[in-house]
Chains A and B, each alone.
Chain A
């Protein structure tokens, strides 16, 4: 029994919060399409769609090469995390071996551990191995940190997958390896793709490790590119906005397309059982 007034008030509140959520996003979007090299510090309304800002960010801001680096790093991290997490989670989910729960909790530690607790020794280690300023410095620590979520998330899937399917495969003579890749992984495509999307987002948006590990321009990823770009051209609002849009777009597109699975994965993934 809800009155008309209450209904309108509810929609009013919802609309207000939607506007608050969207204003900065729309502001940056409209600035990105605004007049190139505008000196106005705030957001500006576009007088048409000026694609020139994106072209300039691409070339003058070097975001073309930063995007290439980000794609490369994200592709390797996501692939490595997916393969390694599936293997480990399969063992944690369906096999029983001594020490399995202790090993599993070692992985869970990584879920709430702040990067700040690792970044200092990682820098000195990677420098000692002469891996700073290489893609490895971006890939290896990021994969290790993504594994915490990957193993946790995929283990839940393997635990909940029907025992009867596994047993049927075994009775048909399938080895554990075949059962995993021929039966469980194809069945688990939804769980797997949620993990892939979330690890992709984390890798794409990752900043601190990249800032510390990479000092040459050739290996910069997009968030790093934006930070340095802001340092040098903080008055060029339109270009900054265009670069921001270039960085955010891949993740936002994936998010809007898969929002339900995406949200579910992010909420579950960051919380321990």
Chain B
């Protein structure tokens, strides 16, 4: 028996090698036709001038140059980066704050809080958008509350205001993503050995020192995960923009994800839309890799 098992292991898992391909093939075929192939096509389309109807002409890098120079194409990228403050930076900071407050003793009802905090993640963005449109509308919950406390002069149509529309959309993002960060950090904090906190307290560390000396370094991996998830979610937010503002007022809340749709299917600038899609993909890739690098680098 032992002999058989030993010989078996040496032959790898005792399979003719080709069998592996047969198992992978069905998934790969579907994935290839409906994901990898279109991905290549997007790159190809981004090199063309095409309105979706007539014959396309070669554009070379025109569409990409426009991304950098045309304000109506550059704007959406700047908006997306501004939104990342609300979608990523703020939720991660709030998440760290909350989680560290919870690390100091055993909290009752943790399952309840975790379930509630994470709830916004499972709602369809369309539902989130419809709900928040009603909260932020002229007669919505926010304005009603402002009027109730005598701040009625601040009331406005938040999503229709040139200055406030982008922060308003951002606030929705903060609402969606904060719970995700809290839940992640709570899971991480449970893995920190209690002795570290006890030692820190013996040395006379207050809550603040405890946070910077113990909690924050121990949560480095979770911070990277939280940043990656929130950045990707923040840059992929087509649904929310479509439902709440449609990129408006003017172009105040236009983001690349929305602009791809708008250009390809509403203004018939397919090549430009494809370049936008490629640009967005590159941006997501660069940001997530940078987050990973940053965290690993400090680790050494």
Binding site for B on A (CB under 8 A): 1-2, 6-7, 9-11, 13-14, 17-18, 20-25, 27-28, 31, 40-43, 80, 84-85, 87-88, 90-92, 94-98, 100, 103, 106-107, 110, 112-125, 140-141, 143-145, 147-148, 151, 166-167, 170-171, 176, 201, 204-205, 207-208, 211-212, 222-223, 226-227, 230, 237, 240-241, 244, 247-248, 251-252, 255-256, 259, 262-263, 266-267, 270-271
Instruction: Please determine whether A114 and B236 come into contact, CB atoms closer than 8 angstroms.
Output: yes
In order of increasing CB-CB distance, the 4 nearest A-B pairs are A144-B34, A121-B41, A97-B20, A91-B23
- Give B18's nearest chain A residue, CB to CB: A97
Is B17 in contact with A98, judged by CB distance below 8 angstroms? yes
Question: When chains A and B are docked, how far (Å) is the Cα of A88 from the Cα of B242?
Answer: 36
Could you say which residues of chain A place their CB within 8 Å of the CB of B126?
205, 207, 223, 226-227, 247
For B278, the closest partner residue in chain A by CB is A117
The residue on B at minimum CB distance from A127 is B52
CB distance from A80 to the nearest CB of B (A): 8
Chain A residues, Cβ within 8 Å of B130:
28, 226, 230, 240, 244
By the criterion CB–CB under 8 Å, are B281 and A13 in contact?
no
Distance in angstroms between the alpha carbons of A240 and B126 in the assembled complex: 11
Residues of chain B whose beta carbon lies under 8 Å from any beta carbon of chain A? 1, 4-5, 8-9, 12-15, 17-21, 23-24, 26-28, 30-31, 33-39, 41-42, 45, 52, 98, 101-102, 104-105, 107, 111-128, 130-135, 137-141, 143-144, 175, 178-180, 182-184, 187, 201, 225, 228-229, 232, 235-236, 238-239, 242-243, 256-257, 260-261, 264-265, 270, 273-274, 276-278, 280-281, 284-285, 288
- Pairs across A and B, CB under 8 Å, 10 listed: A41-B137, A90-B23, A95-B13, A100-B20, A116-B238, A116-B260, A223-B125, A248-B127, A251-B123, A251-B124
Chain B nearest CB from A215 CB (Å) reads: 10
B260 contacts A10, CB within 8 Å?
no
Of the residues B18, B102, B265, contact of A123 by C-beta under 8 Å: B265
Docked-complex contact A266 and B121, CB < 8 angstroms: yes
Q: Are A140 and B34 in contact, with the CB atoms below 8 A?
A: yes
Contact B260 A120 (CB under 8 A): yes
> Contacts A24-B175, A248-B123: A17 and B284 contacting too (C-beta < 8 A)?
no
Besides the known contacts A42-B135, A176-B23, 14 further A-B residue pairs in the complex with CB atoms under 8 A apart = A18-B113, A22-B116, A42-B144, A87-B23, A94-B13, A95-B23, A96-B20, A143-B34, A205-B123, A208-B261, A223-B124, A226-B126, A267-B187, A267-B225
